Structure 1
Amino acid sequence: MNGLIVFNSANDVVYHNLNAALTDKICNIAITQGLLPVASRTAPASALDSNVLLQIFSPIISSQRIMHCQFDNAYASLQCENGFNLVFGELLGFSFLKIGQIEIEQLTRQLGVAMTLTRYCYGANLFGAQAGLMQQELLTQCLNCYETQLCSKEEQAYLVEAMPKLLVNPELKRTVHITLDATLEQLRQSGGQQRAHALLLISHKLLALNSTRQALPLAPADLLFLAILARALQTQKSLRAVAVFLQGVSYDANSGCVPTIVHVSRLHGHQVLLQLIEYGHMPLTSSIYDTFFVLQRIVAVHQQGDADALKPAYESLESFVSQTLTALKRYLKQKHEEMDNCVKKFTARWENLRKMYVEFFKSFERELLVRIESNLPAFVEELKQLFTLSLACCDSASNHQLDQLGDSAAVVEAKLLELAEFLAVKAARNISIDAYLEDFPGLVHFVYVNRSTGQMLAPDLRQNDPPSKLVPKSKLWQMVELTRGYLKKGQTTVMWKDRTFHYSYFLWFEDLSGGILKCPLDLQQHFLSTGFGGNGNANGQKPTAEPGALPMDYYSELAELCFPKLSPNKVRVYELYCIHLGLVTATCAVEHARRLVATISDLVGEETF
């Protein structure tokens, strides 16, 4: 059983995605409680609507909200009989409930991914009426793709949350990059697209990523999301363009919410071309996006009745609203009538709200606080409308480019047609562990991840080829889960054995020249004393710091913690997982790890991995 249910602030169900087993289970409970007729057993999926889910789960969600608002101690999870578990999360006022029959830790991770995918599909206006069914369908496809691939234990990319890199010779790589550069130049000259990316995937492995100068660099999570998106849409033979909201790198001021048109084209020989066009004014979009989180923070403060935290929360909101109004004047000089009316209504509501806050901080009258709280929902709705219309004013230039993107994909396919079969074969056997057996005796598998770029290198898992068949996939999955547990405790090097294998895990930092950076902190002591990621998020709740790219960018946070004086773009984070036969000693495993990294660096060549 597995499923996700999302509730808004009024406890209404705004989204649900339940598999057949969970649907049957909930349907039987509804029949027992008299919420559904017995005849519903024959077609539970059609009978199970939002009202039924609301009546069954509303008491749990209401209790969750009360624990959060009145005691600031919301439930993290509930463990039930027969391994039936529930975990809770909150994003911009929406309560996420993840249900499944797996361990709490894994379920929490899947919930974090679900919330992140929701942000990618909806931006700041979560489950907004303006988004329509298209965004909801896209979210469902991405969720199902992620969980299906993860549970199948076939794709290491979904396990370690990184994009597999396809290694080819320098000449071929140069040819591909020149082709993609020409495509971007064509988009720039004919369509005026100054901010664009082009990604070429071969059998779900990244061959090349080209970007224009003005484009915002992609975050590691963006790459993984795009991989999920491409796979989720692979069953559709026609060309497909979707609107999403990428994250962008954390060290850029405009990151967080990057409105992007993603055009997915299936080419010959397992090739998939993704053309990304950023639209909208980044400072404006980023400012509105941040305002949503600050606004949700002040809503949470009101609900908790925390008078001491109210003034700093208001001052933060005032600052972000001021930035938003300034950005509106600067970037949206030509506004249509609907947008102009929206800006006026938003400004009027804010002025009214601001005056009430100023009066309240002078007198602290309870009546004023009640008036403020009653006006906040309308202000939230105006902000949502402003977010939607500000994007609508900017994407008109992108809409007419969709036909051009299809033509560009056809040109790329024609130029790379002669290479298609070779690339398909190369992707099928990108890295073979056989090539490493002579130099690294006893090594049966490895996974090398660059967390700063979100890319990975690893032999494919083939159960029919020695020595891959020696490594059960479950062993690799267990290894990654175990090392994540130790990493959350501050351990960056872990080694252990079982009856068959010797496992080793290493995490380290490098500067841009490849020199090792030594962390001055004792991470284990630091995590024990202060925790990690425990300062609270914009919703007023403590985030769960889970190693990975999608739930939160754990590794960039870790690098910032270890090297606060260095710019985040100057620190690279690497991970290496190795599995040796059990006879290999710890000293030998460490030496293999050191030489393996050097060997891969030579193999990759001039392009930094």
Structure 2
Amino acid sequence: MQPIWLGFPSVSCNMFVAHHYQCIMRACTELKQWLNTVIYSYRLKHSNTHSELATLLIETFLKLRQSSQPIVTESLHYEPICEVVNSSILRVLQVAVSDLSVRGGIPENRSHILIIKETSIVAIYSGRGTSELRIDEILFLIIVANAFDHSKSSTRHSLLILESCVPYTIHIQRVENGLDVIVLIECGLHQIATSLFALLKSVSASPTKVDLIPKQLKELKKMTYKPNQRHQWCESLIWRPEQSHNQSAMSAFCRQILRGYEAVCLNPSLLYAAVELVSRVIDDIQLSIPIESLSQPCRLTPLLNIYPGLVHFVLIDRKNHRMISPNLPLERDDSTFGNMWKIFHTSLEWLNEGMHNLLWNDKQLCYSHAIWIEDEANKKLQWRPNWDIQTGTFGYPSLIGSGFYENLMKGGLEDEEADPTHYFQFFCIHLAITSPSIIVEQSERLANYLKRFIYPSVGKLEDIF
């Protein structure tokens, strides 16, 4: 089967993200926001492919917000794998990154490989010297991988390449047992994108920053000489100070810059160059990873039998964006699975209004939620007592990429000079007949146990609620 190519320009993808969960790969964000207003509506109006892809990703995101704990909580869930198997998989991915370098000339500092199962992480490996993938980038990849129906084509040979993620190309291939292997390759165009934005910002400023334009244009031309003779468009960029007084001339100059962006950052030849190589590398990964060893029981599930009335729990280490939780029931019509979304969405709505601790009962189940920050001495730091912050100031929880939890930590504490060491969020479900005092007691004991599960040397915190 021939590889599938989905043309979805970076600017289009960013517009989709801005409206729905503001998450996109590491190109110059402000550049793409500027380009959105110029190009996006035109592209969706005149391209059914772009419209269909945008719709597909939006629908997938909204669906996963009602069925995936990692997506709704903006955290990563790692499959329960023993240390020996995990080390073996990471060695396989390390060899794969080396193969991309040796056989394809792709530098190790531009390659990332992920293995995911549905919305859980099996393994992540980034080549030596790469910049670390952000949480919103990883969650975006999970959404992309879940957006496509692999059953409609050969799962072994289907290779998806999205043009949407400059400065990355993304290669996704379904292998055995529902695993998706994702290979990201950085195109090395971040500096050019940044320079383009600086030039556009100067041109579009009011009044126009005439003094900066010649210097910025010179730097841009110098950068674009390197990428395989794709600099020719830049030679046509000629700036004359008198242009700033002519709106038509300024518009034409901006259009030339936009054409250059497409020529350099969205060059299809870059996307196709590594297709066959990456496909072979993914095949090698599939043959080498111990797939049969990936299905292991979660060590946390037995805790549900230790605490009377306990139905489900989720602890999130917000500093590292990782969650730990028992396995949810496989039957999606199970009431526990359905009730999880009630605790998530209700808790996050109130959290957005400044309610950091919450306990409520709907006569069937009792739900509790707490979010807290600790200092180095394991002391709980106090939130601001008068919560007069306008809704949306910190972003929005459950809106991937808005930076809500980071902003909450920076601006929500009473002591602005405090030095946060640990940052946790805890969701819990009990049977409705469980008394509130028992719920609080169990929740605190369980949360402290889970903290030690992550940080064995961390002391006990007494007053979570």
The reply to whether TM is greater than 0.5 is yes
1:146 is aligned, of 46, 61, 65, to 61
In structure 2, relative to structure 1, the CA distance for the partners of 1:340 and 1:173 (3 Å cut) is same
Amino acid corresponding to residue 421 of structure 1 in structure 2: E
Task: Give 1:478-489 correspondences, 5 Å limit.
Answer: 478-489=342-353
Q: What does 1:378-457 correspond to in 2, within 5 Å?
A: 378-392=252-266, 399-416=272-289, 419-423=290-294, 425-426=295-296, 430=298, 433=301, 435-457=302-324
RMSD of Structure 2 on Structure 1 (CA): 4.3
Q: Return the match for 2:226 from 326, 329, 334.
A: 334
Tell me, yes or no, if the aligned pair for 1:503 and 1:579 is still in contact at 8 Å.
yes
Structure-1 residue corresponding to 2:4: none
Tell me: CA distance 1:352–1:211, structure 2 relative to 1, closer, same or farther (3 Å): farther
- CA distance in 2: counterparts of 1:573 and 1:263, whole angstroms: 34
Aligned match of 2:161:
242
Letter in 2 for 1:533: T
Shift of 1:601: 4.8
Cα distance in 1 for residues equivalent to 2:119 and 2:145: 8
Q: Does 1:560 align with 2:451?
A: no
Deviation at 1:597, TM superposition (A): 3.6
Letter of the aligned partner of 1:182 in structure 2? V
d(CA) in 1 for partners of 2:98 and 2:198? 32
Residues in 2 aligned to 1:332 and 1:118: alpha-carbon distance in whole angstroms: 21
1:264 aligns with 2:172: yes
Cα pair 2:371 2:424 within 8 Å, conserved: yes
The residue that corresponds to 2:140 in the other structure is 225
Q: In structure 2, what is the Cα distance between the partners aligned to 1:566 and 1:134?
A: 50
Q: Which moved more, 1:584-593 or 1:189-198?
A: 584-593
Please list, as runs of the form range in 1=range in 2, the aligned pairs for 1:465-484 lying within 5 A after superposition: 469=334, 471=336, 473=338, 475-484=339-348
Cα contact 2:70–2:120 (8 A) shared by 1: no
Q: Is the 8 A contact 1:489 1:524 kept in 2?
A: no
Normalised by the size of structure 2, how large is the TM-score?
0.76
2:85/2:293 contact within 8 Å kept: no
Paired position in structure 2 for 1:253? none
**Judging changes above 3 Å, is the alpha-carbon distance between structure 1 residues 402 and 451 closer, same or farther for their aligned structure 2 residues?**
farther
Provide the residue aligned with 1:157 in structure 2: 70
Q: In 1, distance between residues paired with 2:335 and 2:47?
A: 49
| Secondary structure in structure 1 of the residue aligned to 2:80 | coil
Q: 1:95 to 1:392 in 2, by over 3 A?
A: closer
Q: Residues 493 and 461 (structure 1 numbering): CA distance in 2 closer, same or farther, change over 3 Å?
A: same
Q: Following TM superposition, by how much is the alpha carbon of 1:226 offset from its aligned partner in structure 2, in angstroms?
A: 0.5
Equivalent-residue separation in structure 1 for 2:329 and 2:251 (angstroms): 54
For the residue of structure 2 that corresponds to 1:222, the secondary structure is helix
8 A Cα contact 2:384 2:412, kept in partner: no
Contact 2:214 2:239 in 1 (8 A): no
Cα drift, residue 555 of structure 1:
1.7
Q: Is the CA contact (8 Å cut-off) linking 2:116 and 2:123 kept in structure 1?
A: yes
Tell me by how many angstroms 1:446 deviates: 1.5
> Is the alpha carbon distance of 1:155 and 1:398 closer, same or farther for their aligned partners in structure 2, counting shifts above 3 Å?
closer
**Residue 337 of structure 1: CA displacement?**
6.7
Identical counterparts, % of pairs:
18
CA deviations over 1:158-178 (Å, ceiling 9, x no partner): 433434321211111111111
TM-score for both structures, normalised by structure 1: 0.60
Indicate how the Cα distance of structure 1 residues 292 and 136 shifts in structure 2: closer, same or farther if over 3 A, else same. farther
Aligned counterparts of 1:600 and 1:218: Cα–Cα separation in 2:
26
Q: Bigger CA drift: 111-120 or 157-166? A: 111-120
2:5 aligned residue = none
* Matching residue of 1:490: 354
For structure 1, the residue ranges without an aligned partner over 5 or more in a row are 1-14, 16-90, 97-109, 247-257, 299-309, 357-370, 535-544
Given the alignment of the two structures, is residue 582 of structure 1 paired with residue 432 of structure 2, yes or no? yes
Q: 1:334 to 1:291 in 2, by over 3 A?
A: closer
Aligned counterpart for 1:169 among listed residues 65, 82, 97 = 82
* Cα shift at 1:454: 4.2
The one of 276, 283, 288 equivalent to 2:191 is: 283
d(CA) in 2 for partners of 1:572, 1:322 = 48
